[in-house]
Structures are given as structure tokens and as C-alpha cells.
Chains A and B, each alone.
Chain A
Amino acid sequence: MFLARVVGTVVATKKSEGMQGIRLLMVQPVGEDDRPRGKPVCAADATLAGPGDLVHVTESREAALAFADPFIPVDAAIIAVVDQVTATA
């Protein structure tokens, strides 16, 4: 699981079965200092995140578990919109 910044929206009309109604967003992984880290990925949104939001992303099998149908073909999902990150050490 990692922190990421939402950097764009993705629209796909033709999608795998079960993906209807699921929002897709481009997210750029970031550190606690908000600096980009690695490459952006396309994540399914289980919250109501929007461009510019700092989000909490879960990966692989657990991504699909964030949705009502736990067998949809996604490997990254936004499971929280982060309000604040406090570096403590």
C-alpha cells in the first residue's frame, strides 16, 4: 500500500465485465514529502477521490476486494482519501 497523488482521470467505454461504473484514475506514487516516486499507475477508485487528492492505494489481489464484486480485473485501488500525513521520525 502506498501514498499517491491523483494526477488524472481515465475514461474507458469498453471494459471487462464487472467494471461498469467503476471510476479509473491515474495516480502518481509519492513520498511523505509529496515528492513523486516511480511511475504513475491507473487505479480503480473505491472512494470518491478526484484530481489533486492525496490518496491511499492498495495493490494486487487486495485491490479488487475493495469493491462489491471482488473478482474484477484491477490491481490497484484507491481505498482512502488522505487528509494529512504527519512525519514523526
Chain B
Amino acid sequence: MILARVVGNVVSTVKHPGLVGRAVFSVQPIDEFGAEAGDTFLAVDHAQSGPGDTVIVLREGNGIRQVLADKSNPIRCLIVGVVDAVTPAAAE
């Protein structure tokens, strides 16, 4: 799992049935200090997150299929938590 920030909303009409009713966001991977760490990618929301939130993103298909209880879902990146605070070890 990685930390990311929700930076965009992606709207689609024509989509796979596995995506129907789910919000798709563009997320920016970040490090524990909030600095950008890599390229943005798309993730499906499963934690009522929204733009600007720091989130935990699960990027493992089998885990996602278990979370969604759907054996044939093509989603590969799922937002599974909204982060309240990250405390870097050096700052403690």
C-alpha cells in the first residue's frame, strides 16, 4: 500500500460494469512528509475519500477482489483508507 493525495476527479459514462457506481480519482503518490513521490495514477474510491484527502491506496488485485467480494473485477488500485495524520519517525 502507498500514501497518496487525491488530486483529480475522473468521470466516465462508458465503462466496465465493475466500475459502475464507483468514484474514480487521479491520485498523486506522496512520501511521509507530503512531498510528491512519483507519477499520478488512477484509483477507485472505497473509503468515501475526496479531493485533497491523503489516502492509503491498495495496489494488489487479489486483495482488492477480496475487499470488493467480486472475483472478476478489473480494478487494480483501490483507495482503502483516508489518512488523518502521518508522523515521520524523525519528527517524534
- Whether chains A and B associate is yes
Within 8 A of A (CB), among B1-44: 5-16, 18-19, 24, 26, 39-44
Report the interface size for chain B: residues with CB under 8 A from the other chain: 32
* Contact status of A62 and B61, CB under 8 A, knowing A79-B19, A88-B6: yes
| A47 and B14 contact, CB distance less than 8 A | yes
Tell me the smallest distance from the CB of A79 to a CB of chain B, in Å.
4
| A89 and B51 contact, CB distance less than 8 A | yes
The interface size bin for chain A is: 20 to 34
Within 8 A of A (CB), among B33-65: 39-44, 51-52, 61-62
| A56 and B15 contact, CB distance less than 8 A | yes
Tell me the smallest distance from the CB of A29 to a CB of chain B, in Å.
9
